[in-house]
């Protein structure tokens, strides 16, 4: 059996790829390389360069590599950008997924793992977010992920494809420096960027109803994200009746202020002190996953703590910014 990973040359996709390869799975990557890097692929893993919107490329890749399972990670993922360009996000994320699923049905793919997001929940007013927490996304990105979950489930049930939609919480860290997150839109690399310029880290609001006034989030190591996908792939291979929707998180909240202090300590940039600026619209005070369902369904739990996330991410940052 061969698994196709769409977006497998990207930050998260390359970690999932290496975890599947380490698990002994045959893998092929489909990536348009708009944000991916072919250097992330291990030797011997085939790369098909193309868009998830291109049926001809999809059909040929599925046929030539005898693909029977798909991990669909390729997507646009910037919240602010999705607000500015909703038509593009719906095209790339929803129409792209529909095209992949249509090709999968024709190729008789039997297992499908979908990369979703905690953004489907919006601003949940609960201590722990379970899979039964109402989904009220607040931006087009979150909407496309929720619509994607509906589409994956409907197609899976209609065509006998085992499915799993994996809701990522706040991803950080790297398995190796060369696999680090190249962007500066997530908290950890955003703070690295500010500190490297001698600027204070920005904290968006310190008047939330939390112990230190800053937002609380569930940070999860990208290697744990990858191992969760391996567990899901195994489950779907063994259980063709499975249709899962699962959080991937540690079930532990860390405040933004606490995370900034850990980043400053590990990076060796003790100052300047964080600068508090206005809240960002739509930022909930607390979003922490319940990890009970994924433990029960897949026997999975996170194994990396925030210090491991930050230290591995810092090594990747230093590799890309040696000055």
Distance from C-alpha of 26 to C-alpha of 118, rounded to nearest angstrom:
29
Kindly report each contact of residues 41-50 with a partner whose C-beta sits within 8 Å and lies 24 or more positions away, as own/partner. 41/8, 41/9, 41/14, 41/17, 42/17, 42/18, 45/8, 45/17, 45/21, 47/8, 47/9
Nearest one of 253, 263, 259, 250 to 210, comparing CA atoms: 253
Q: Catalytic residue among 121, 141, 168, 208, which?
A: 141
The bridge status of strand 202-204 relative to strand 170-172 is unpaired
DSSP string across 149-201: HHHHHHHHHHHT-EEEEEEE-EEE--SSGGGS---S-SHHHHHHHHHHTTPPP
Give catalytic status of residue 168 as yes or no: no
Burial 157-173 (b: 16+ CB within 10 A, else e): eeeebbbbbbbbbbbbb
**Calpha distance 53→56 (Å, rounded):** 9
In sequence order, which residues have a C-beta less than 8 Å from that of residue 120 and are 6 or more positions away? Answer: 135, 137, 142, 145, 146, 149, 167
Catalytic machinery residues = 141
């Amino acid at each position: 059996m061969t698994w196709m990973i769409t977006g497998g040359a990207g930050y998260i996709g390359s970690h999932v790829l290496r975890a599947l390869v380490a698990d002994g799975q045959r893998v092929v990557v489909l990536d348009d390389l708009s944000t991916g890097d072919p250097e992330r692929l291990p030797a011997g893993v085939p790369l098909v360069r193309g868009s998830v919107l291109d049926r001809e490329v999809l059909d040929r890749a599925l046929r030539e590599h005898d693909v029977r399972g798909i991990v669909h990670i390729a997507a646009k993922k910037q919240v602010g950008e999705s607000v500015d360009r909703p038509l593009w996000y719906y095209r790339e994320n929803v129409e792209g997924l529909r095209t992949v699923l249509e090709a999968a049905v024709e190729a008789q793919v039997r297992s499908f793992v979908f990369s979703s997001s905690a953004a489907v929940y919006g601003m949940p007013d609960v201590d722990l977010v379970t899979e039964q927490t109402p989904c009220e996304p607040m931006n087009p990105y979150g909407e496309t992920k929720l619509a994607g979950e509906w589409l994956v489930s409907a197609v899976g049930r209609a065509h006998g494809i085992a499915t799993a939609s994996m809701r990522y919480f706040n991803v950080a860290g790297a398995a190796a420096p060369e696999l680090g997150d190249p962007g500066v839109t997530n908290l950890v690399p955003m703070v690295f960027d500010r500190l490297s310029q001698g600027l204070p880290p920005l904290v968006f609001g310190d008047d939330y109803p939390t112990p230190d006034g800053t937002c609380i989030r569930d940070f999860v190591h990208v290697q744990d994200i990858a191992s969760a996908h391996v567990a899901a792939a195994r489950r779907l291979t063994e259980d063709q009746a499975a249709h899962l929707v699962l959080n991937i998180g540690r079930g532990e909240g860390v405040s933004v202020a606490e995370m900034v202090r850990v980043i400053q300590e590990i990076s060796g940039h003790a100052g300047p002190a964080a600068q508090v600026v206005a809240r960002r619209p739509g930022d909930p005070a607390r979003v922490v996953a319940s990890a009970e369902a994924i433990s029960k369904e897949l026997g999975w739990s996170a194994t990396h703590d925030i210090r491991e996330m930050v230290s591995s991410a810092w090594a990747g940052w230093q590799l890309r910014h040696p000055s």
